[in-house]
Amino acid sequence: MTGRGFERIAFVASGAEDAREARAALTARYDGVPLDQADVVVALGGDGMMLLTLHDVMGRNVPIYGMNRGSVGFLMNDFREEGLRERLAAAERTVIHPLTMRARDRDNKVHVAKAINEVALWRETYQAAKFRIEVDGKPRMPELICDGVLVATPAGSTAYNLSAHGPLLPLASPLLALTPISPFRPRRWRGALLPDRAAVAIDVLEAEKRPVAAVADNIEFRDVKRVEIALDRKTNLVMLHDAGHGLDERILAEQFGW
């Protein structure tokens, strides 16, 4: 890699036809290399493809530059074939950290997974779930009756968290969003903002009668009875965005309806 020139570029694409066609064209135009040889990865698709790519390079400290060939593309840059190396060299860097989820199931087996957007707990049946929530070992919510509950990072605050009426978090804010999904009791509880150093533990009450699944982004474990969530500060994930179109700007614009 020469400075910020990113000489070795890997191109990855979602299954959408537009994304696959874009990958073929860009790979030929910029002499694309395999993923394990890349200085930078260009992800073609929507936000789901960006998340998959971030998971694929986790621990390797390889920056990801997304270009929108999907539907929403909140995390992506505009698609253009020309001038890619110049765009990469001028791009703004955003460093984010994933959440680590440790989920213990009813057989006492522990499952560990990473989440870039959120860790969510969901009811598995028609019955509402019941949870007890601890923050840093201190009980904060003795009983929450709802469809589910999630912990979102700032990067994930614009995703499912926002759909569940959770708060939008500026990317640089040292916060996590704890957001209930369709709360029944306490009916008016809308969640909490937590410092990102907080350790959250969620116990499933009546786990046999009211089974719950735990999901870290798209990794699901069923029939859990306790889930522990904390930010993994040792893992850095780097996203690149065109100047003036970074995530901070997009999150700010989203709050004003744009």
Can you read off the two tokens belonging to residue 190? 């809308």
Q: What is the mean pLDDT of residues 3-13?
A: 83
Yes or no: say if 149 and 161 are a contact pair by the CB < 8 Å rule: no
Which segments are annotated as binding site?
47-48, 117-118, 147, 155, 158-163
Convert 108-137 to b/e letters by CB count within 10 Å (16 or more is b). Answer: eeebebbbbbbbbbbbeeeebbbbbbbbee
Percent of the chain whose pLDDT exceeds 70: 93
181, 222 contact by CB (below 8 A) = no
pLDDT at 151: 98
CA–CA gap between residue 194 and residue 225 (Å, rounded): 22
Q: Please tell me which residue in 47, 105, 217, 232 is annotated as part of the active site.
A: 47
Enumerate the β-bridge partners of residue 119: 151, 216
Give the model's pLDDT for residue 74.
80
What average pLDDT score do residues 225-249 get? 89
Q: How confident is the model at residue 61 (pLDDT cuts 50, 70, 90)?
A: confident
Residue 194 has pLDDT above 80, yes or no: yes
Strand arrangement, sheet containing 9-13 = 9-13, 40-45, 64-68, 237-241, 92-96
Residue 2, pLDDT above cutoff 70? no
For residue 245, what pLDDT is reported? 67
Which letter, b or e, does each residue of 224-251 get, where b requires 16 or more Cβ atoms within 10 Å of its Cβ?
Answer: bbbbbbbbeeebebbbbbbeeebbbeeb
DSSP class of 237: E
For 21-25, 26-30, 137-141, 240-244, which range has the lowest pLDDT when averaged over its residues?
240-244
Match 């060299």 to its residue by tokens: 89
Find the helix or strand (DSSP H, E) in which 194 lies: strand 192-195
Q: How far apart are the first and last CA of the chain?
A: 37
Tens of pLDDT along 84-129?
A: 999 999 999 989 999 999 999 999 999 999 999 999 999 999 999 9
> Average pLDDT in the 33-49 region?
94
Find out whether 180 and 191 touch, Cβ atoms under 8 Å. yes
Kindly state the tokens that stand for 6: 């990113």
pLDDT of residue 59: 86
Q: Which domains does the chain have, with CATH numbers?
A: 9-96+235-255 (3.40.50.10330), 99-231 (2.60.200.30)
Residues annotated within the binding site for NAD(+) are 47-48, 117-118, 147, 155, 158-163
What's the distance, CA 4 to chain centroid?
26
Whole-number Å distance between alpha carbons of 74 and 68: 9
User: 258 pLDDT exceeds 90?
Assistant: no
Q: What is the DSSP string of 200-213?
A: EEEEEETTTTS-EE
Banded pLDDT at 1 (limits 50, 70, 90): very low
Closest by alpha carbon to 232, among 142, 65, 83, 113? 113
Pairing type for strands 9-13 and 40-45 reads: parallel
217 in active site: no
Query: Taking a C-beta distance cutoff of 8 angstroms, is the pair 88, 3 a contact?
Result: no
